[in-house]
């Protein structure tokens, strides 16, 4: 049905922040395709994580692309800072720019800053149909399968309909799923049409990290080609 490639993007939110360089090297050696970096501002979400200086430090030691997920209220204002910090994919939330016009302004700010791949994300209670008029303008849609803010939450299976809808519209870009992905939940995501898989606790909490990434990849690849 498709020749899409599975991309595994481990979320550094679950790494040891006192040992970021060590964990980045470890997770890359274990097979990570991208590194997912969760930026939170304690305003859009009830948690506060890292900003451009730390992303820049990560990019200094990383050899795979940085997949930066902005959970912040003013993404356009920080586009340049994150571009300079080394973001490859930069994703903003539709909820902070909830109209076609407002979202286009953010997308343009990202492109003007030199971001290569622009992503837009929807929370579990935001209809994906809202994105209809900007689908042609983004490289990635990030479908949240938990409410953003924290790692280790339970996967919300009902969001798989959003992925199916996007593929039914003919959306050819990357569809990324984030929140509660593990060896069980990844199968349905892949079957629905997801090709980029974020996992934090399932990867960093595993005893055998390379084995877990290999297993996630093979389960996803198997299901992706069904139907
Ligand atoms: C949640 C973040 C996720 C989180 C995923 O707001 O966007 O990237 O780190 O963690 P797990 O895989 O543990 O649900
Ligand atoms: Zn994330």
Ligand 1 pocket residue status of 47, Cβ below 6 Å:
no
Helix 20-29 and helix 209-224, axial crossing angle in degrees, nearest 10: 50
Helices (H), 5-151: 20-29, 52-61, 79-85, 100-112
Q: What are the pLDDT digits (tens) for 93-110?
A: 999 999 999 999 999 999
Ligand 1 binding pocket includes 205 (Cβ within 6 Å): no
**Ligand 1 atom having least distance to the Cα of 201:** 13
Tell me, yes or no, if 161 is annotated catalytic: no
Mean pLDDT of 64-72: 99
Mean pLDDT of 196-218: 98
What pLDDT digit, counting tens, does each position of 142-161 carry?
Answer: 999 999 999 999 999 999 99
Q: Quick check: helix, strand or coil at residue 35?
A: strand
Angle of helix 185-192 versus helix 209-224 axis, rounded to 10: 40
| pTM exceeds 0.75, yes or no | yes
Q: Is the CB of 162 under 6 A from ligand 1?
A: no
In this prediction, residue 154 carries a pLDDT of 98
pLDDT at position 227, please? 46
pLDDT the model gives residue 183: 98
């Amino acid at each position: 049905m498709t020749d899409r490639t599975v991309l595994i993007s481990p979320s550094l939110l679950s790494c040891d922040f006192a040992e970021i360089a060590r964990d980045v090297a470890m997770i890359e050696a274990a097979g990570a395709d991208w590194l997912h970096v969760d930026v939170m501002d304690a305003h859009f979400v009830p948690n506060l994580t890292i900003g451009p200086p730390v992303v820049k430090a990560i990019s200094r030691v990383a050899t795979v692309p940085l997949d930066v997920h902005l959970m912040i209220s003013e993404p356009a204002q920080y586009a340049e800072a994150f571009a300079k910090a080394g973001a490859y994919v930069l994703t903003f939330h539709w909820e902070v720019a909830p109209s076609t016009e407002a979202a286009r302004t953010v997308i343009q700010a990202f492109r003007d800053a030199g971001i290569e791949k622009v992503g837009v994300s929807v929370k579990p209670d935001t209809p994906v149909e809202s994105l209809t008029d900007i689908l042609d303008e983004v490289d990635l849609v990030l479908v949240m399968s938990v409410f953003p803010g924290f790692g280790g939450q339970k996967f919300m299976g009902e969001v798989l309909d959003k992925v199916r809808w996007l593929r039914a519209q003919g959306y050819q870009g990357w569809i990324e799923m984030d929140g509660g992905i593990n060896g069980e939940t990844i199968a349905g995501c892949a079957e629905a049409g997801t090709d980029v898989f974020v996992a934090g606790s399932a990867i960093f909490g595993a005893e055998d990290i390379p084995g877990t990434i290999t297993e996630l990849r093979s389960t996803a690849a198997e299901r992706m080609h069904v139907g």
